[in-house]
Structure 1
C-alpha cells in the first residue's frame, strides 16, 4: 500500500484567467462568426457609401457651409444605427448561441466577463469612429476638389460625434444585458430611436405641460446639444442629459447586470 505525499494529495489549483486574456478572447469572439463579421463589414461599407454620396451631392450642388464636421455627422447617423447592434450581440451571443454555460464554467466571475465584453465594445467603437473620421477627412478633400474650397472647421461636431457613438453602443449593451435576447433588444433600441421621439412630439403638441416633461426623458434629443460642444452646454441641458441617461442607460444596465449575475445558465 502506497501513501500519497502531501504534494500529490493536494488538488490542483487552476490558474486565474487574467482580464487582458478575457478581453482578447471576447475580441476574437466579436468578429469570428458570420453575423458579427458581416455586421462590422456593413458598418464600414455603409459609412463609406454615405460619405461618398454626401461629398458628390454637396459638391455638385455647390452647397454652402459644408465642412469636416458635416461629414462626421453623416457618418454618425449611419454608425448610430449599427453600433448598438454590435453592443447587443456582444452580450446576447452567449445566450442566443447557448455558449453561456461553457463561458461561465471556464470563468465563473461573470462580472469580469461582462466588463471584458464592454471593453471590446468600446474598442470597436473607437475603431469605427477612427475609420469614420479618416473617411470624413478624405471625402472632405474630395468635396474640396469638386467645389474648389475645403473647410476643416466643425471640431465641436466631431467631439459630439465621438461621444454620441460611444453612448449609442453602450445603450445597446445595456438593453442587451436587460433582455438577454437579440431580437428583443434590437426592436427596443429602434423603438427608442425612432418611435419614442415621435410619441413624445405628439404628446408635447397635444399637452402643454407634457413638453417640459418630455425634455427630461428624451435621451436622444438631449444628446444633440453635444454636437455644439459639451463645453457650450448649459446647466439645464446637462441636467436633461444626465436624467434621461439614467433612465435609458444606467437603470437598464444595473438591472441587466444583476440579472446576468443571477441568471440560471442552461
Structure 2
C-alpha cells in the first residue's frame, strides 16, 4: 500500500505590506471608533471655545489675545488629550480583539508598532499646527476688535514655540510607551495621569524631594527659556518615562500571545 504524498506548499516570500500602507491604515484606526473620533473632535471644539473666550477676556486683559498666550492656551488641552489618543491607538488592538487580524495580515509586529508610532507623532504635529493657525486667527481678530497694542500682539519667542511643540510630542510618546507596556486602556491612562499627581503631592509634602529629586523624575517637559540643568532634567526624565517603558512595552507586544 503506497502512501499518498502531497506537494509542499512554498512559504510566502513576498515583500510584505509597505510601511506607507500600514501608516494609512493606522491613521484610519485613529478616528474610526466612537471614542477616538469624539476625542479628536473635542480637541478642535475646545480650541475654538478657548479662542472665543480670550476675545471676551481681552476686554479687561488685552494681552489675552497675544499670539504667545493664544498658542499656550490652545496647546493646553492638547497636552491632556493627545496622549490619550496615542494610548487608544495602541490599546484598541487588544481591547477590541483586532490584534489577531492585524498581526495575521502583517506578522512583522515591529512594523505595526513603527506605523502606529509614526501616526501618533504626525497626528500630534498636525494638531499643533492647527492650534497655531487658530491662535493666529484669534490673535488677528483680537487686534481688529481692540485698539490696545497688547491685544493682537504677534510676538512669540522661538523658545516658547519650540518648547510647546516638544512638550506635546513628549507627552504623546510617553502615552504611547505606557500603552505598549500595559496593553490596557484604563491602566495606561490612570498610570499616565496619577503618577505625576503623586509626585506633585510628594514634592509638596517633602521639600527635599521638591528641591533635589522631582525635577529629575517628573514627566518630561521643557520650559520656554531652558537652561543647562533643564536639558539634563529632560534627558533623565525622558529615559525614565519613555525609553524604559517603551523598551519593555515593545518586548511585551512582540512576545504576547494573541487570543
Post-superposition Cα deviations, 1:50-93, rounded to whole Å, max 9, x if no partner, equal 12212321x11134485211111101211011000000011001
| 8 A contact 2:54–2:65 mirrored in 1 | no
Q: Structure 1 unaligned runs (5+)? A: 1-7
Q: Structure 2 unaligned runs (5+)? A: 1-6
Q: Displacement, 1:48?
A: 1.2
Q: Provide the rounded CA distance (Å) in 2 between the counterparts of 1:97 and 1:209.
A: 41
Q: Displacement, 1:12?
A: 6.5
| 8 A contact 2:204–2:210 mirrored in 1 | no
Q: Provide the rounded CA distance (Å) in 2 between the counterparts of 1:189 and 1:25.
A: 26
Residue 249 (structure 1) aligned to one of 226, 242, 248: 242
Q: What are the equivalent positions in structure 2 for 1:46-125 lying under 5 Å apart?
A: 46-57=46-57, 59-64=58-63, 67-125=66-124
| 8 A contact 1:72–1:157 mirrored in 2 | no
Q: 1:199 to 1:147 in 2, by over 3 A?
A: farther
Post-superposition Cα deviations, 1:4-50, rounded to whole Å, max 9, x if no partner, equal xxxx9763636311111111111111111211111110111111111
Q: Displacement, 1:224?
A: 4.0
Q: 1:234 to 1:17 in 2, by over 3 A?
A: same
Q: What are the equivalent positions in structure 2 for 1:132-211 lying under 5 Å apart?
A: 132-148=131-147, 149=149, 150-155=152-157, 156-204=159-207, 208=208, 211=211
Q: Counterpart in 2 of 1:259?
A: 252
Q: Provide the rounded CA distance (Å) in 1 between the counterparts of 2:66 and 2:175.
A: 30
What secondary structure sits across from 1:153 in the alignment?
A: coil
Q: Provide the rounded CA distance (Å) in 2 between the counterparts of 1:101 and 1:55.
A: 50
Q: Displacement, 1:168?
A: 1.1
| TM superposition score normalised by structure 2 | 0.89
Q: 1:71 to 1:254 in 2, by over 3 A?
A: same
Q: Counterpart in 2 of 1:130?
A: 129
Q: 1:197 to 1:32 in 2, by over 3 A?
A: same
Q: Provide the rounded CA distance (Å) in 2 between the counterparts of 1:163 and 1:56.
A: 30
Q: Counterpart in 1 of 2:28?
A: 28
Q: Provide the rounded CA distance (Å) in 2 between the counterparts of 1:54 and 1:202.
A: 35
| 8 A contact 2:63–2:69 mirrored in 1 | no
Q: Provide the rounded CA distance (Å) in 1 between the counterparts of 2:195 and 2:138.
A: 31
How many pairs are equivalent? 248
Post-superposition Cα deviations, 1:78-113, rounded to whole Å, max 9, x if no partner, equal 101100000001100110000111111111111110
Q: Displacement, 1:238?
A: 0.9
| 8 A contact 1:92–1:181 mirrored in 2 | yes
Q: Counterpart in 2 of 1:214?
A: 214
